[in-house]
A and B are shown apart, each in its own frame.
Chain A
């Protein structure tokens, strides 16, 4: 990549935004009387300290990569999937229900759970898509409603007699061992992380597939065309209604898959929620940091997962873990205004070289 290419690329500005985010967080920590170096030291040793920490970060990242992909895919197809939260919950609920109630041999059971989660996530989004296509109802509105419906439905199912665990705890019974997607025992012992699972492999595979669909297939071209301009796409012979249905279903399926990875890989049961868990909303951040690029979402998801896991270590130095949210928010706002800097730098570079500028 030449110098001009670097100045144009999103990665440079994302990197700058991350540095600014950490600076803002440091100022706040210092203002609250906490040594920022000590707090960040704890954060980074919580992330890179040893193999166990790094593995946990990856485990935390897998579901976020999925919701990030879900939102990124929706951005590329002209829809704003603020409903990834609900689709994620629908997916984890379906995976958990099949995992607890059904009975099947090892790889098949997990496959059944994952299929159920994909179907549930896709369905949760498809209903909102249908409302948009048939009745013109703004998808942001229906997604917000469906988020809460999923939330209460999940809490309802968790408390059903068939699902609820006996002997206390507001959660379901443990999912059958045959349905879990845990890595082999050897790897668990080697890394010291009790929840190493295949989620990250699934996430990377999904990102590659989505990248391929968006960029290399007729389907992806049609979806993007509808996203850019539905009227022009219609004029060009693309069935816009069907494209919206397809795009939103795929987006929902991805979020649902994320729910399955979280339940089958890490939590092994579903607890009653007190408030929305935020995987879907965090997915919006992942998509933004990854500039809506599926491959970018892998790295953005890993970054967010690491910050989320590292943030849990901050309490050791009495620093509020919320500083992670503040850093994330600052990063997003700087990514949002990055094009100003880009124009500035690119113009400057062009002037120095005496070349053309746009």
Chain B
């Protein structure tokens, strides 16, 4: 019985580690996809967020400040994506792909320029990482320690999912952003500034992705490495499609991913199965769930189409 509870604690702990970065980025992706701008650059925005977060925390010693700056760095690149794809009517996939080269390239470039040609930033000590809650209350390794003594920023991600659901479905801005993604022309005739709504959403998507990236370096890895994000941004995009472009759906998808990661780390502890096979679990489960239960997800009608005012 005790062993079971302990294993459950480990499982939830692993879930709480893997889910938040994906969730931040996926919630960001929701904003931009729903307002009608495909954002394939999430990956790059996460990477620059991860770098900025680690560097700011290293120099200032404040995890929270690093976290915030990570978000802002993501937002800056999102602004570039917004300018190209909204104001200049660029193909959104192309501009997003460009971000995926620019942002990680710049992150590693700056890292090498700042830290004498090393592509890894110096390791952060615990005091300059994000703070944990309820430290010292539970005995190390116990259920309570594994589940409750975790990063504030992890629970913030779940809280944000609720807030963003509220914004999407219970506020005027949410209604406008969903309308901008379905039928921008109709939106504009009702006096809504489609450009402004889309700009806000895309910048928010970058900000949230940047937070997700910063969470990785400030809570999980404690330093920036070029390989620190690799692929997570794309998985966040996958989670949004899986969740049918809703924040609550994205939350479920990210939890499923986090859960599979938990199973992965539990199974990986006793070296009987090849770690490479175990690592496939999240992807196989996603594919099976899609094929068996989820099926078609309806893409917002105006997604990917540059909006031209004078038509």
Give bound CA distance, A274 to B235, whole Å: 18
Number of residues of chain B lying within 8 A (CB) of chain A: 52
- A336-B297 in contact (CB<8A): no
CB neighbours (8 Å) of A320 from chain B are 108-109, 112-113, 117
Q: Scoring B residues 60 to 90 as 1 if CB is less than 8 Å from chain A, else 0, what string do you get?
A: 0000000000000000000010001100111
- Known A28-B109, A138-B297, A337-B84; judge A332-B98 contact (CB<8 A): yes
Least CB distance, B299 to chain A, in whole angstroms: 7
Number of residues of chain A lying within 8 A (CB) of chain B: 48
Neighbour of B94 across the interface among A135, A159, A336, CB < 8 A: A336
Give bound CA distance, A324 to B104, whole Å: 11
Neighbour of B112 across the interface among A141, A145, A149, A322, CB < 8 A: A322
Q: Does A64 contact B (CB under 8 A)?
A: no
CB neighbours (8 Å) of A276 from chain B are 230-231
Closest residue to B227 on the A side, CB-wise? A275
- A32-B295 in contact (CB<8A): no
Q: Does A148 contact B (CB under 8 A)?
A: yes
CB neighbours (8 Å) of B97 from chain A are 281, 284-285, 288, 332
- B105-A138 in contact (CB<8A): no
Neighbour of A141 across the interface among B85, B95, B280, B290, CB < 8 A: B290
Main secondary structure on chain A at its contact with chain B?
helix
| Most chain A CB within a 10 A radius of its CB, from B93, B237, B297 | B93
- A156-B117 in contact (CB<8A): no
Which of the segments B130-138, B191-199, B216-224, B271-279 contacts the partner chain? B271-279
Tell me which residues from 262 to 285 in chain A have a Cβ below 8 Å from any Cβ of chain B. Answer: 274-276, 281, 284-285
Tell me which residues from 131 to 172 in chain A have a Cβ below 8 Å from any Cβ of chain B. Answer: 131, 135-138, 140-142, 144-149, 152-153, 155-156, 159
Least CB distance, A20 to chain B, in whole angstroms: 12
- B231-A148 in contact (CB<8A): yes
CB neighbours (8 Å) of A335 from chain B are 94
Give bound CA distance, A288 to B297, whole Å: 27
Q: Does B283 contact A (CB under 8 A)?
A: yes
CB neighbours (8 Å) of B283 from chain A are 145-146, 148-149, 152
Neighbour of B277 across the interface among A140, A152, A322, CB < 8 A: A152
- A325-B105 in contact (CB<8A): yes
The number of A-B residue pairs with CB atoms under 8 Å apart is 148
CB neighbours (8 Å) of B157 from chain A are none
Q: Does A249 contact B (CB under 8 A)?
A: no
**A–B Cβ pairs within 8 angstroms, 10 of them:** A28-B109, A82-B234, A135-B290, A138-B241, A138-B297, A147-B234, A285-B101, A288-B94, A322-B104, A333-B94
Q: Does B242 contact A (CB under 8 A)?
A: yes
CB neighbours (8 Å) of A153 from chain B are 276, 280
Main secondary structure on chain B at its contact with chain A?
helix
Give bound CA distance, A340 to B88, whole Å: 7
- B93-A156 in contact (CB<8A): no
Give bound CA distance, A148 to B171, whole Å: 38
Give bound CA distance, A167 to B146, whole Å: 41
Closest residue to B40 on the A side, CB-wise? A82
CB neighbours (8 Å) of B290 from chain A are 131, 135, 137, 141-142
- A145-B113 in contact (CB<8A): no
- Known A152-B277, A288-B94; judge A142-B101 contact (CB<8 A): no
Q: Scoring A residues 9 to 28 as 1 if CB is less than 8 Å from chain B, else 0, what string do you get?
A: 00000000000000000001
Neighbour of A135 across the interface among B113, B231, B276, B291, CB < 8 A: B291
Least CB distance, B241 to chain A, in whole angstroms: 4
CB neighbours (8 Å) of A155 from chain B are 276
- B109-A326 in contact (CB<8A): yes
| Most chain A CB within a 10 A radius of its CB, from B90, B97, B227 | B97
- B230-A136 in contact (CB<8A): no
- Known A149-B280, A335-B94; judge A329-B101 contact (CB<8 A): yes
Q: Does A210 contact B (CB under 8 A)?
A: no
- Known A326-B101, A332-B94, A336-B90; judge A152-B295 contact (CB<8 A): no
Neighbour of B106 across the interface among A146, A284, A285, A326, CB < 8 A: A326
Give bound CA distance, A335 to B287, whole Å: 35
Closest residue to B291 on the A side, CB-wise? A135
